[in-house]
A = this chain, B = another copy of it.
Amino acid sequence: MKIAENTINRLIVYKKELNRLATDGLSNVYSHKLAHLSGFPSHLVRRDLMNVGYNGSPAHGYNVTELEKCIADFLCTPESVRVILVGVGNLGRAILDYCQQQNPKISIVAAFDKDKNKVNKVYHSIYTFHIDSVKNYIKENNIDVAIITVPAAEAQEIASALVESGIKGIVNFTPVRLQVPAEVYIENLDMMLGLEKVVYFVNGD
């Protein structure tokens, strides 16, 4: 069954909130509470959970840990995912740091840059290689996902190289709309776009 992208977004949010509830020691939760925590209406929560195929109880709602696991299974979250990052600028280094504090299942295993002053250095405990070695690295280590944080002018060239080496998904932090084959999944995380959207909704209507 095909699931809408928005549904996936929400499921990821539910999963995170469930995880937090679990660490808080709660064992069950009602759709209303999950709705309140995640910011979506409760009937959407229930509808989304229909998709993952987990059944709650009318009396106790959902079992927190079971539902979390069920969503994780549904999202096919593998036990560990290895990701690379290209572009060790301010933003790239911040992401190297940030990622380690979050989901331990997803880890950045290598960074790449063209600047010789950065190559062979370690940032936030991630080793930086020269960009020329990225193709080999991807192939030898079977990497599927890359994060791009290079300057806008280099983004397309880098993306093409990554795709050529077999990358299947890219988190794109540059403002450039990357041109890649349809089977490569691109998640654009343009911070400026986010800011502009907020400005629109605050100003306009």
Contacts and interface: CB of A to CB of B under 8 A. Distances in A.
A195 interface: yes
Nearest to A200: B75
A185 B169 contact: no
Main secondary structure of the interface of A (DSSP, over half): helix
Interface string A176-205: 010100000111010111111111111110
B204 A76 contact: yes
B198 A187 contact: yes
A90 B144 CA distance: 26
Contact of A90 (B97, B102, B198, B202): B97
Given A39-B177, A94-B94, A177-B17, A76 B203 contact: yes
A44 interface: no
Contacts of A78: 199, 203
Contacts of A5: 197
Contacts of A200: 8, 12, 75-77
Interface string A115-152: 00000000000000000000000000000110100000
A71 to B, nearest CB: 11
A196 B200 CA distance: 27
A23 interface: no
Contacts of A13: 177, 193
Given A13-B193, A98-B191, 17 more contacts: A13-B177, A16-B175, A39-B186, A76-B204, A83-B195, A89-B94, A90-B93, A90-B97, A91-B94, A99-B191, A103-B196, A145-B202, A171-B191, A185-B198, A185-B202, A187-B197, A187-B198
